[in-house]
Amino acid sequence: MITHVLDTSAILAHYLREPGADDVNTILAQGPAAAGISLIALVELRSRLAEVAANPQEAERAFKLYTETLTTVLPFSRETADAAMDLRSATRPRLPLVDALIAASAKQHGAVLVHRDPHMATIPTSLVSQRVLPPKP
């Protein structure tokens, strides 16, 4: 059962060994049955890893590690879209669409959303449980 959904920011904190990396490591150590990543986050993750990795081969290796070994990729459905629309309606200031979809994946699975994005922290915790990681140094 998925217990945590990792936002791209959480995976990058882990990859770059930034504050919060130990928290993410604890989640990943539980295995891919506990750690999920939204299908919507894959494009963002791949592009961000390409920006921060030492070279394209390392970026691809890390992408495959996080998406094929350490996490379960969570599908996108009509229910997820509906949940994202509800989250956007309930969140002020405006929640970006991609972040609403990622948060909706957590909501759909009854999982904790793990991130370090201040705008995601404005999602009411009554709608989505959250673990907010420390900001970048």
| CATH superfamily name and code, 4-132 | 5'-nuclease (3.40.50.1010)
Provide the CB-side half-sphere exposure for 52 (13 A, CA): 18
Residue reference for tokens 């793990």: 114
CA distance 84 to 108: 10
Which segments of the chain have a pLDDT < 70? none
**What pLDDT, in 10s, does the model give residues 19-42?**
999 999 999 999 999 999 999 999
Please report the pLDDT score of residue 43 as a whole number: 92
CA distance 84 to 63: 25
Give domain limits for the chain: 4-132
Helices (H), 16-129: 21-28, 41-52, 56-64, 78-90, 97-108
CA distance 15 to 21: 8
Please report the pLDDT score of residue 84 as a whole number: 96
Contact of 62 with 48, CB cutoff 8 Å: no
Quote the DSSP letter at residue 131.
Answer: E
The number of beta carbons lying within 10 Å of the beta carbon of residue 102 is 30
Please report the pLDDT score of residue 12 as a whole number: 97
